[in-house]
Amino acid sequence: MRAELRKLFGLPTAWVGLVLGLIAAPALVFVNAPGVRRAIESGEIADLGYENLGIGLLGALILGVVTVSSEYTSTGDDSPGAHQMTATLLAMPRRTRLLVAKGMALALVVAVQGALTASAAVLLTEVVLPEYAPPFAPDRIAAAALYWTLLALLAYAVTLIFRNGVITLTVFIVNSTVVSVSYLLTKLTPWAAYLPDIVGAHMFLRGDATGVRIAPLTAGLVMTAWVAALLAVAGYLFHRRPA
């Protein structure tokens, strides 16, 4: 796992994910001020500060994707079929152990990142809008960090299944920033609120943008189940497929 942490920090893309994830949400607290004012006027202030965390999720997603996609990137033009996964498997031939070490390294980094970002976003909101900001609640911060971690693991599992970072990243980024397909589906059926990427947000958001209210604990369990299922599929495929 130490090796996997070292490996992650040796990648420039991973730093993009780290920095983006860390600064995007707090920065939005400032940028998003007009929207926030509107929210205040309409009285929806329960999630002040927390709403901005959605954008920082991109950082967590990038980290989840690159831990795997970097393994499958071609190492050079002269040997197009060669990739780092070969070196990784030579160093750690036990595949389950490898996947667990990778997942743990990723979870650790993203959890720390999520906790720092969420704290920063909420504290900054208190500074910018002292009279409206929700009280600093460690349990909601922890829930937000957990959401980030689970989403990073989700990206990790999906990338392992497709062995391609571009597909995963496109789907997740489009879904979480441009048009949320999952969100649109909730207009068709309330069950869509249980899709893995949006159910988890109920762990720390108290507003009901989707029109469906899910208890934080239920949301956490549902999302964990999604992640566990996808990781199981990814692990199975990783064992079956040649390196």
Q: Which residues bind other proteins (CB under 8 A)?
A: 2-4, 6-7, 10-13, 70-71, 73, 75-76, 78-79, 81-84, 86-94, 242-243
Residue 175 per-residue DSSP state: I
Q: What is the DSSP string of 109-129?
A: HHHHHHHHHHHHHHHHHHHHS
Q: How far is the CB of 154 from other proteins (least distance, A)?
A: 23
Q: Residue type for 224, please?
A: T
Minimal distance in Å, beta carbon 105 to other proteins?
11
With a CB cutoff of 8 Å and minimum separation 6, the contacts of 172 are 61, 65, 155, 158, 197
In terms of CB distance, is 101 or 157 closer to other proteins? 101
CB nearer to other proteins: pick between 85 and 227: 85
**At closest approach, how far in Å is the CB of 23 from other proteins?**
21
The total number of residues shown for the chain amounts to 243
Return the closest-CA partner of residue 69 out of 171, 167, 164, 173: 164
The residue behind tokens 């990784």 is 88
Decide whether 80 or 138 has the Cβ nearer to other proteins: 80
Q: How far is the CB of 147 from other proteins (least distance, A)?
A: 29
The minimum distance between CB 211 and other proteins, in angstroms, equals: 43
CB nearer other proteins, residue 35 or residue 93: 93
- 19/228 with CB nearer other proteins: 19
Q: Does residue 83 sit in helix, strand or coil?
A: strand
* CB count in 10 Å sphere of residue 174: 12
Q: With 0-12 CB in 10 A as exposed, 13-18 as middle and 19+ as buried, what is 209?
A: middle
Rank residues 166 and 174 by Cβ distance to other proteins and give the closer one.
Answer: 166
Do 196 and 226 touch, CB atoms closer than 8 A? Answer: yes
Cβ at position 57, least distance to other proteins in Å:
23
